[in-house]
Every structure is written in C-alpha cells, then in structure tokens.
C-alpha cells in the first residue's frame, strides 16, 4: 500500500474525528447565537482556551449538529474513498465546510493537508497507469 495513500487517509480520519469533538460543546450551549464568528466551543474548558471554533451559522445548536455530521463524512470519505479520482478535492471541500460549521480551527487544517496528499497520490497513480 502506498505511503501517500495511508498518510492521506490517516490525516483525513484524524481531522474528521477532531472536528466533531467540538459539536457536543456547541450543542450544550443550546439554541443561541454565538457572540462572534470565532467562539469557544467548550466555554470554561481551560485547555486550548475553550476549544476555539468558527461558524457562519447563527445558531450553536445547529452548528454543533453540522460539525458532527460533516466531521463523520470527512472521516468516512478519508477511510473509504481516498483512491478515487477527485477524492483530494472532496476532502479539501469537506474540511472547509467543517471549518465554517464549528469543527474547530485546527482539524480542518489537517483535512486540507490530507486532501493535498490524496491529490498527489492520485496524480502519481494516474501517471503510473492506475497502479498504486
């Protein structure tokens, strides 16, 4: 198995699981609007300043639910479909959506890195005639 494929898949799964960790903290805050575009997903949580997150959705309950859903989608895509032709682009897009729906600030960066690795892997695989 190609090392690039394994690295892309592992980073994507890591990002996909790191994003939904913010979701329950957002859900517990309830049906309220965040104070700013960047907010604390777990207010009062001392490590990492309350787990900073970002959202464009004006409702923390919906934000938390979407962070969990998009994070799980990113993990599943990274685990199952990393060898598909445009899988890297899908991983990058899911990571950007994860950033915008409260999945934290750092996990989407790992997802974007995974998407770049998947793109490089698929480019090299296509150059070799589809052989891993």
pLDDT tens-digit series, residues 69-111: 999 999 999 999 998 889 999 999 999 999 999 999 999 999 9
pLDDT tens-digit series, residues 30-72: 999 998 999 998 887 756 667 899 999 999 999 999 999 999 9
CB burial of residue 37 (10 Å; 0-12, 13-18, 19+):
exposed
Confidence label for 25 from pLDDT (cuts 50, 70 and 90): very high
Tokens 């190609």 found at: 2
Q: Over 60: is that where the pLDDT of 1 sits?
A: no
Mean pLDDT, residues 20-31 taken together: 93
Q: How far apart are CA 60 and CA 33, in angstroms?
A: 6
| DSSP 8-state class, residue 55 | B
Q: How far apart are CA 110 and CA 29, in angstroms?
A: 26
Question: What is residue 104's predicted lDDT score, i.e. its pLDDT?
Answer: 92
Mean pLDDT, residues 115-130 taken together: 87
What's the distance, Cα to Cα, between the start and end of the chain in Å? 7
Question: What is residue 48's predicted lDDT score, i.e. its pLDDT?
Answer: 62
Q: Over 60: is that where the pLDDT of 118 sits?
A: yes
Confidence label for 131 from pLDDT (cuts 50, 70 and 90): low
């Amino acid at each position: 198995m190609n090392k690039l494929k394994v690295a892309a898949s592992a980073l994507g799964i890591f990002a996909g699981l790191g994003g939904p960790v913010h979701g329950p903290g957002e859900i517990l805050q309830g049906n309220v609007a965040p104070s700013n575009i960047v907010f604390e997903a777990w207010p009062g949580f001392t490590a990492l300043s309350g787990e900073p997150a970002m959202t464009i959705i004006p409702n923390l309950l919906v934000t938390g639910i979407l962070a969990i859903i998009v994070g799980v989608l990113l993990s599943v895509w990274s685990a199952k479909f990393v060898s598909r032709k445009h899988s890297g682009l899908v991983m990058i897009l899911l990571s950007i959506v994860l950033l915008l729906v409260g999945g934290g600030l750092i996990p989407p960066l790992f997802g974007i890195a995974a998407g770049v690795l998947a793109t490089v892997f698929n480019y090299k695989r296509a150059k070799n005639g589809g052989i891993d």
